[in-house]
Chains A and B, each alone.
Chain A
Amino acid sequence: MAKCTIDGREVEFVAGTNLIEVAAKAGIEIPYFCYHPGLSIVAQCRMCAVEIEKMPKLQTACSTPATEGMVVKTRSDRVRQNQKSVMEFLLINHPLDCPICDKSGECDLQDQSFKYGDPYMRYTEERRTYLDLDMGPVIKKNMNRCIHCTRCIRFGTEVAGIHEMVAVQRGSNTEITTVDGRPLETDYAGNYSDVCPTGSLTLKDFRFRKRAWFLKKTPTVCEGCSRGCNMEIHQDANVIYRCLPRTNMEVNKYWLCDEGRFNYHYVNQEDRIVLPTLQAGESYQPTDWNQAIDQAKAVFNGKKLAILVGTDLTNEEAIQLQTFLPKQFGNAPVFHFGTPGIASTQDDAPADQILKRKSRTSNLNGFEKLGFKGFESLPAGIEAVLVIRGGRAEIPKFAAGVKVVGLGVFHTAENPGFEVVLPGTSFAEKDGTIVNFEGREQKLKRSINPRGQCKQLPEILMMWMNRGMSAGVAS
């Protein structure tokens, strides 16, 4: 393997790798703003300039590939002086409003100013300010904080495939904007905030809700579609505040779509049914677990039953159900369901050019591998249905007169018209395995405790068994 020397250490590298990455592999940090491994290289922030032997001027590490025998210094006086100057320059117009900025605590500009900048600044003139136009429901812009790194523009054109975010005017008057404050069109707008190294583009969804340093982070997988993008859930005091993408070059690279990013809302939603509940006319009546299970059994008693299992459940849950369901309900037909029109992996296909897939549940492939059959319509003569799901599988419409019991995550706003709801857990409240469209097994990790009296599926099944014998269903 080719070798070069960085700060006196011999470092191996793969030909073509730029100095930032080579140094990072060796644990040497080169600061940068405009560089992003998932975007093209423009070398315009100048923060990553390093000293290379036999080169008269400092070179930007992001745009310089390492070569055999190269001798690089990232901590020399010249380099440090450059870093100080660049920081001073970038902060000339920056409002330094960190105390009220959402990015504070996880801001590249803040961190690197602290680490590489000079606490003293010579600039005393008036700072340039902007009036900010809106950018739609996802992103809040604050142009005063911008350092013109153009990461957002490059994300738009190179990844999202739309040139909607642009830099108008030029020089120090440059402004990042959409046309006349039009809303962003891409379904991946949240990433604009992720790539921003300052607080210029922040998520409206997260705005002023929590300081970054209070958040506990759990690595998990998105349940929004059959791709299974890797992400992190950020929570505090059992409340989820946001989901951010986690880098996985083989699945989602650095990105996450808005649907997946904001999918978590249903977990905390006000109208989620978090207590065992019986239907009472138009409304729902909370009750206790024993009564709810008794009532569910009474609903099924003597009726011809079908069972629908959402493909938003994990493999572990699916396997437990495979043992439980035949024991309790004989040979009542069992189907998996999730997205209307996507009854099998045959129907699943990319929904766009980037990440999204047509199956809007995460474990379609897993259920199919375990031998579950896809749901198309209820067999003739079915009088009652047991619907088991996470929070995302779309509940089919049933004919009037079919009695339904729900087990899992449901909302009163969905108005499912269920006889009984046994509250279960969402993807954020349990551990488990899901299988994405390529057959890649990935782990859901529990980040918060179940809300209210919601219980894990195994516990509910156990309670069901302990409340007497089989429901005595006609088969």
Chain B
Amino acid sequence: MAKILSQKFYDEMNKLVPRYPTRVALLLPALHQAQEEAGWLPSEVMEEIGEYIGIHPAQVREVASFYTMYNLNPVGKYHIKVCTNVACCLRGADEIVEHIEKKFGIACGGTTPDKKFTLMEEECLGACGTAPAMMLNDDYYENLDIKTIDQLLDGLK
């Protein structure tokens, strides 16, 4: 099978090998690294990771699907993840999700046709004290309301 992942991926992984007691422990960093390269995790990539670590591809899928930070489908340039757990929910997360859905005309989990925005619900971000919170790619935005969201999203290129 032709390799999809870059040499850089393999170099990074080989550096990490001595850090962990077992080889299976490489799975999470490998998934992160692979996602950084492609933006998401196609099944061929997960297959290749399984082959590299020496585990069944089903096991890779199991782990990748458990965590919401791994994308099993392509995502847009801006990946919006709104926390909808208890604290955020009480402080209006549902309205925020609804607002973004309307704003972009997409359902939760969907991507805009121009591949710019993807909207997802997220489990607890640990920002309950500053609820409601959301992630935009890797950054946190807290104490949100509809106005700040509009300001934020409209300013994105």
CB contact under 8 A between A168 and B43, given known A162-B56, A163-B55, A163-B56: no
Which of A168, A177, A179 counts the most chain B CB atoms within 10 A? Answer: A179
Shortest distance from the beta carbon of B27 to any chain A beta carbon, whole Å: 12
What residues of chain B lie closer than 8 Å to A170, measured between beta carbons? Answer: 65-66
Whether B57 is near chain A, meaning CB under 8 Å from some CB there, is yes
What residues of chain A lie closer than 8 Å to B66, measured between beta carbons? Answer: 168-170
Which residue in chain A gives the minimum CB-CB distance to B46? Answer: A179
A166 to B55, CA, bound (A): 12
A157 to B58, CA, bound (A): 11
Whether A436 is near chain B, meaning CB under 8 Å from some CB there, is no
Shortest distance from the beta carbon of A42 to any chain B beta carbon, whole Å: 15
Shortest distance from the beta carbon of A118 to any chain B beta carbon, whole Å: 29
Whether B138 is near chain A, meaning CB under 8 Å from some CB there, is no
CB contact under 8 A between A165 and B65, given known A179-B43, A180-B43: no
Chain B 42-75 residues near chain A, CB threshold 8 A: 43, 55-59, 61-62, 65-66
Q: Is the CB of B62 within 8 A of A167?
A: yes
A164 to B61, CA, bound (A): 10
Whether A178 is near chain B, meaning CB under 8 Å from some CB there, is yes
What residues of chain A lie closer than 8 Å to B62, measured between beta carbons? Answer: 166-168
What residues of chain B lie closer than 8 Å to A178, measured between beta carbons? Answer: 58
Q: Is the CB of A163 within 8 A of B43?
A: no
A429 to B56, CA, bound (A): 42
A118 to B61, CA, bound (A): 37
What residues of chain B lie closer than 8 Å to A164, measured between beta carbons? Answer: 56, 58
Which residue in chain B gives the minimum CB-CB distance to A162? Answer: B56
A186 to B144, CA, bound (A): 51
What residues of chain A lie closer than 8 Å to B57, measured between beta carbons? Answer: 179
What residues of chain B lie closer than 8 Å to A165, measured between beta carbons? Answer: 58
A170 to B68, CA, bound (A): 10
Question: A119-163: contact bitstring with B at CB < 8 Å (1 yes, 0 no)?
Answer: 000000000000000000000000000000000000000000011
What residues of chain A lie closer than 8 Å to B58, measured between beta carbons? Answer: 163-166, 177-179
A169 to B62, CA, bound (A): 7
Shortest distance from the beta carbon of B132 to any chain A beta carbon, whole Å: 21
Shortest distance from the beta carbon of B142 to any chain A beta carbon, whole Å: 25
Query: Could you show 9 A-B contacts with beta carbons less than 8 Å apart?
Result: A163-B58, A164-B56, A166-B59, A166-B61, A166-B62, A168-B62, A169-B65, A169-B66, A179-B61
Q: Which 3 A-B pairs have the closest CB atoms?
A: A166-B62, A168-B65, A163-B56
- Further pairs besides A164-B58, A168-B62: 12, Cβ < 8 Å: A163-B58, A164-B56, A165-B58, A166-B58, A166-B59, A166-B62, A167-B62, A168-B65, A168-B66, A170-B65, A179-B57, A180-B43
